[in-house]
Copies of this chain bind each other. A is one copy, B any other.
Amino acid sequence: MIPRQVSRRGTPARILDAAERVVQTRGFASFSYASVAAELQITKAALHYHYPGKAELGLALIARYGARFRDALAAIDASAGTAPEKLDAYIGLYAGVLSEQKMCLCGMLAAEFDTLPGPMRAEVLRFFEDNERWLEKVLDQGIRENSVRMRTGAQASAVLILSALEGAMLVARPCGNPEKFRAAATALVAGLTGANAGEPDPAPAASRARR
């Protein structure tokens, strides 16, 4: 009586789910309509109905990923923690992706940048810019709180954090060793907060800075 669907999620979303997984593990060039169709047990023609071509599907992929990421950053902001706490949460986002043996979608697409259609390129750049802006804001907060100590500007440190985490995923994933990612992240934070690993902060983060 009830026309139950194969899945609660609609077909477009399920297509994006499958495509996203393939792109994050094998890359955009190595992803094909055939592989996604096989996984969803539908035909390539059905995929083309929902997404006319690879370029459009790729764009939808980044758009959804970017929106999800921005939501996650907004949620971290809403938690109103200290800068180091926010950084830890930010690192957790990356660690979560890596724990599924996946690369950051935009990190993967950055490697393939020269082969991407124009609209996809623009969205990849936007993703990086958004992340840098958010990180810069958090670092500024950390300076006000006296919980972060930088010897260079917040902008350069923001680029470093983004680069280090993307790079740590890139390097750690082939090694099949999430610990490698954790080690890099810990050393990164240590260089920004002046914290000794395994020891209490020499200058405890302002317990609840104004904001």
Contact with B along A171-211 (1 / 0, CB 8 A): 11111000010011011101110111100001101100111
Q: Which residues of B contact A150 (CB under 8 A)?
A: 187, 190, 206
Which residues in window 89-115 of A have CB below 8 A to B? 103, 107-108, 110-115
| Total copies of the chain | 2
> A59 in the interface, Cβ–Cβ < 8 Å?
no
How far apart are the CA atoms of A159 and B192 in the complex, in Å? 16
How far apart are the CA atoms of A132 and B74 in the complex, in Å? 35
Q: Which residues of B contact A183 (CB under 8 A)?
A: 152, 155-156, 159-160
Would you call B194 and A192 a contact (CB within 8 A)?
no
Would you call A211 and B194 a contact (CB within 8 A)?
yes
Of the candidates B107, B156, B168, the one whose C-beta lies within 8 Å of that of A184 is B156
Would you call A114 and B205 a contact (CB within 8 A)?
no
> A128 in the interface, Cβ–Cβ < 8 Å?
yes
How far apart are the CA atoms of A150 and B113 in the complex, in Å? 35
Q: How many A residues, CB 8 Å from partner?
A: 61
Which residues in window 63-108 of A have CB below 8 A to B? 103, 107-108
Contact with B along A29-62 (1 / 0, CB 8 A): 1100000000000000000000000000000000
Would you call B175 and A164 a contact (CB within 8 A)?
no
Chain B nearest Cβ from A138, distance in angstroms: 15
How far apart are the CA atoms of A121 and B175 in the complex, in Å? 10
**Could you jot down 30 A-B contacts, CB within 8 Å?**
A25-B114, A26-B114, A27-B111, A27-B112, A103-B111, A107-B111, A107-B170, A108-B111, A110-B173, A113-B174, A124-B174, A151-B196, A152-B190, A152-B206, A153-B205, A159-B168, A159-B180, A159-B184, A159-B187, A160-B183, A160-B184, A160-B187, A160-B188, A162-B171, A163-B164, A163-B172, A164-B188, A167-B167, A170-B170, A191-B192
Known A151-B196, A156-B183; 7 more pairs at CB < 8 Å = A27-B112, A27-B115, A110-B174, A151-B195, A152-B183, A155-B183, A157-B187
